[in-house]
Amino acid sequence: MKIITRYTLVCLVIMTAAIATGGCKNKNSQASGTAQKDVRVFPVEVTRALYEDVQHTLEAVGSFYPEDEVKVAAEVEGIIQKLHVDEGAVVKKGDPLLDIDDEKFRLEVEESEAMLTEALRKLENSRATLNRMTKLYKEGVIGQQNYDDAKTQTLLIEANVENIKARLNRYKKSLKDTRVMAPIDGVVSARMISVGEYVKAGTELFKIVDSNPLKLVFTLPETNAGEIKIGQGVQVQSRAFPDKSFNGTIYFINPKVDLQTRTIEIKAWVDNPEYLLKPGFYVNVKALLEKRTSLVLPESSVLVREGKTMVMSVVNDMIQYKQVSAGVRFDGKVEILEGITPEDMVVLSGRSEISEGTRVEVISRTS
Give the residue from 257, 347, 353 showing the smallest Cα distance to 300: 347
Examine the fold and report which residue of 288, 307, 336 is the final residue of a domain before the chain moves on.
Answer: 288
Q: What is the pLDDT along the chain (367 residues), one digit of tens a residue?
A: 444 444 444 444 445 444 444 444 444 444 444 444 557 899 999 999 999 999 889 999 999 999 889 999 999 999 999 999 999 999 999 999 999 999 999 999 999 999 999 999 999 999 999 999 999 999 999 999 999 999 999 999 999 999 999 999 999 999 999 999 999 999 999 999 999 999 999 999 999 999 899 999 999 999 999 999 999 999 999 999 999 999 999 999 999 999 999 999 999 999 999 899 999 999 999 999 988 899 999 999 999 888 999 999 999 999 999 999 998 898 899 999 999 999 999 998 656 788 899 999 998 888 6
For residues 238 and 259, membership in a common domain is answered with: yes
Residue 132 φ/ψ, nearest 5 degrees: -65, -45
**Count of domains for the chain:** 3
Give the residue from 154, 170, 186, 193 showing the smallest Cα distance to 74: 193
Task: Show the domain range for 359.
Answer: 42-54+292-366
- Calpha distance 117→204 (Å, rounded): 37
For residues 297 and 278, membership in a common domain is answered with: no
pLDDT of residue 37: 52
- Calpha distance 44→360 (Å, rounded): 7
Residue 316, domain CATH = 2.40.420.20
pLDDT of residue 2: 43
Residue 266 included in any domain: yes
Number of separate helices (H) and strands (E) present in the chain:
3, 22
pLDDT of residue 38: 58
- Calpha distance 346→322 (Å, rounded): 9
